[in-house]
């Protein structure tokens, strides 16, 4: 509504826990209910056609001027809706979808999804993706109009006064003069959280704060119970992440660099850190490795072994260097990777694709159906 568009999100609630209809921050959310779970693998293909039909019916009942598909699992329904109503379709691809599923589905299904996506991206009006590497790959696969719109954050949301930053440290028991490393995200094995924990054990003057859920959560709890410099937050609400990020000295990000999706990785953690002006501790892979290296806003690890992470922690523990890295991170966030620039890309895309409305103030707002 703020920029002249009415947005309706058509969402799939597989746990059937949310309201059927909800207004959140002025955005209308319409949910469809089909029971399922995450990580079902190949059996999910029997569920998706039902989800597609229900989402399409809901969108048709609502009405729309443009369809915005979020990730490949909504793209088939979005293209059908666009074709039926002669409306434009925007495909928002945050990752290499088939690569993300690597290992959890059969290789033949992974190839089929990649082939289907390659066919479909040729039919969307605009494709938005997170970085130059993935944008280029979509162009090679036949996409006519691929643009970069990263998971960039609002710099203003990550700015907190010194008093607030000190209060977070006090709550956690992190001394004012100690190096504070933060990681709040998925605690899967591929994130190399356990190597970070072992490195922290060997550096008692470095405080590591971890939040999230996943297979490594039990290990985090065990280490936190034994070592005063390791802190476990459990699941952290999204609105609390900026506060913790601003209070930290650096943000850790681990990932399985051998994953097919690693080449395109441009995670939220990167842009949260830049918005807060905090350097990264990560390896050189994907967009994150490219941005950290180019902007000189962090420490690049050769791998995620304990000795290499120890070397990274020791490097960040130099106050002079740490301050230089913070300045570089803040500069990258303020000048390049921020929500203001992303907003310009999105609004420009919508204005090109949605027919201009009459200047009459009583004319209805153009409506975007996001899935």
Structure confidence at residue 45 (pLDDT): 85
Q: Are 282 and 292 in contact (CB under 8 A)?
A: yes
pLDDT in tens, 362-371: 455 566 666 6
Ranges 119-128, 288-297, 308-317, 343-352: which has the least confidence: 343-352
Structure confidence at residue 265 (pLDDT): 85
Structure confidence at residue 75 (pLDDT): 95
Structure confidence at residue 361 (pLDDT): 46
Ranges 64-73, 194-203, 251-260, 359-368: which has the least confidence: 359-368
Residue 209 — very low, low, confident or very high, per pLDDT cuts 50/70/90?
Answer: very high
Q: Is the pLDDT of residue 59 over 50?
A: yes
Q: Is the pLDDT of residue 356 over 70?
A: no
Question: CA geometry: angle at 153 spanning 152 and 158, to 5°?
Answer: 150
User: Which residues sit opposite 11 in a β-bridge?
Assistant: 31
Structure confidence at residue 371 (pLDDT): 67
16 Cβ contact list (under 8 Å, min separation 6): 33, 35
What's the whole-number mean pLDDT along residues 175-199? 96
For 112, list phi and psi in degrees, rounded to 5: -65, -45
Structure confidence at residue 268 (pLDDT): 92
Structure confidence at residue 315 (pLDDT): 98
Token pair listed for 103:
């290992």
**Residues 329/334/336/341 CA torsion (nearest 10 deg):** 150
Q: Is the pLDDT of residue 205 over 80?
A: yes
Token pair listed for 22:
């909800």
Question: Model's pTM, two decimal places?
Answer: 0.82
Structure confidence at residue 151 (pLDDT): 85
**Domain limits, CATH 3.40.50.2000, in the chain:** 6-152+338-370, 155-335
Q: How far apart are CA 175 and CA 206, in angstroms?
A: 10
CATH code given to domain 6-152+338-370: 3.40.50.2000
Q: Are 367 and 170 in contact (CB under 8 A)?
A: no
String of DSSP letters for 174-237: --TTSEEEEEES---GGG-HHHHHHHHHT-TTEEEEEE--STTHHHHHHHHHH-TTEEEEES--
Q: How far apart are CA 244 and CA 196, in angstroms?
A: 18
What's the whole-number mean pLDDT along residues 36-52? 84
Structure confidence at residue 58 (pLDDT): 93
String of DSSP letters for 24-81: ETTEEEEEEE----TT-GGGGGGTHHHHHHHHHHHHHHH--SEEEEESGGGHHHHHHH
Q: How far apart are CA 302 and CA 362, in angstroms?
A: 59
Average pLDDT, the chain: 92
What's the whole-number mean pLDDT along residues 200-223? 97
Structure confidence at residue 26 (pLDDT): 85
Fold of 155-335: Rossmann fold (3.40.50)
């Amino acid at each position: 509504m703020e920029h002249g568009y009415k947005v309706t999100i058509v969402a799939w609630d597989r746990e059937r826990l949310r309201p059927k209809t909800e207004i959140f921050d002025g955005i209308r959310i319409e949910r469809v209910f089909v029971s399922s779970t995450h990580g079902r693998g190949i059996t999910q293909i029997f569920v998706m056609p039902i989800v597609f039909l229900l989402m399409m019916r809901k969108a048709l009942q609502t009405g729309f001027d443009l369809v915005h598909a979020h990730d490949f699992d909504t793209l088939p329904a979005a293209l059908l809706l666009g074709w039926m109503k002669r409306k434009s379709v925007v495909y928002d691809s945050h990752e290499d979808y088939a690569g993300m599923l690597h290992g959890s589905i059969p290789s033949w299904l992974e190839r089929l999804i990649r082939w289907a996506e390659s066919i479909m991206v040729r039919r969307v009006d605009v494709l938005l993706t997170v970085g130059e590497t993935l944008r280029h790959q979509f162009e090679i696969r036949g996409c006519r109009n691929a643009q970069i719109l990263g998971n960039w954050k609002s710099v203003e949301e990550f700015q907190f006064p010194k008093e607030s930053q000190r209060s977070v440290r006090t709550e956690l028991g992190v001394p004012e003069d100690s190096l504070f490393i933060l990681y709040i995200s998925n605690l899967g094995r591929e994130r190399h959280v356990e190597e970070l924990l072992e490195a922290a054990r060997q550096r008692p003057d470095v405080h590591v704060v971890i939040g999230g859920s996943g297979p490594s959560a039990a290990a985090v709890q065990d280490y936190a119970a034994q070592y005063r410099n390791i802190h476990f937050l459990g699941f952290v609400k999204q609105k609390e992440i900026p506060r913790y990020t601003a209070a930290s000295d650096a943000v850790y990000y681990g990932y399985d660099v051998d994953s097919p999706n690693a080449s395109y990785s441009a995670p939220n953690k990167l842009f949260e850190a830049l918005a807060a002006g905090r350097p990264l501790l990560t390896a050189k892979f994907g967009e994150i490795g490219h941005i950290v290296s180019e902007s000189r806003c962090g420490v690049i690890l050769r791998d995620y072994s304990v000795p290499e992470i120890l070397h990274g922690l020791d490097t960040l523990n130099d106050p002079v260097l740490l301050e230089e890295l913070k300045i570089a991170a803040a500069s990258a966030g303020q000048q390049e990777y921020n929500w203001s620039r992303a907003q310009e890309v999105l609004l420009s895309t919508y204005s090109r694709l949605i027919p201009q409305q009459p200047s009459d103030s009583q004319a209805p707002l153009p409506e975007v159906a996001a899935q």
